[in-house]
Amino acid sequence: MLIYVLKRILYAVLTIFLISVITFALSRLVPGGPFLSEKAPSAATTAALEKKYGLDQPPVRQYLTYMRDALRGDFGPSIKKRGREVSDIIAQGFPVSAKLGGIAILCSIFIGMPLGCVAALRRGKWQDNSILVVATSGISMPSFIVGSFLIVIFGERFGLTFGLGSTAHYIMPVVALAFFPTAYIMRLVRSSMLDVMGQDYIRTAKSKGLAQPLVLFKHALRNAVLPVITYLGPAIAYILTGSFVVEKIFTIPGLGNEFISSITNRDYPMIMGTTLFLSALIITLNVVVDIVYKIVDPRITYSK
Structure confidence by residue, pLDDT tens digits, 215-245: 777 667 777 777 888 788 788 888 877 777 8
Structure confidence by residue, pLDDT tens digits, 255-288: 887 888 888 888 888 889 989 998 888 888 888 8
pTM: predicted TM-score of the whole model, two decimal places: 0.79
Q: How open is the CA angle 258-259-261, to the nearest 5 degrees?
A: 65
- 54-88 in b/e form (b: 16+ CB < 10 A) is ebeeeeeebbeebeeebeeeebbbbbbbeeebbbe
pLDDT at residue 39, rounded to an integer: 65
Helix (H) or strand (E) holding 113: helix 86-121
pLDDT at residue 27, rounded to an integer: 83
pLDDT at residue 297, rounded to an integer: 65
Q: Which residues of the chain have pLDDT under 70?
A: 1, 35-41, 156, 158-168, 210, 212-213, 218-219, 296-304
Q: What amino acid is encoded at 164 in this protein?
A: L
Sign, CA dihedral 255-258-259-260, equals positive
pLDDT at residue 299, rounded to an integer: 61
pLDDT at residue 182, rounded to an integer: 92
pLDDT at residue 304, rounded to an integer: 47
Q: Are 217 and 148 in contact (CB under 8 A)?
A: no
Average per-residue pLDDT for the chain: 81
Given this structure, which CATH class describes domain 110-258? mainly alpha
203 Ramachandran zone, left/alpha/beta (phi>0; psi -120 to 50) = alpha
CA distance 132 to 125: 11
- Collapsed DSSP state (helix, strand, coil) of residue 215: helix
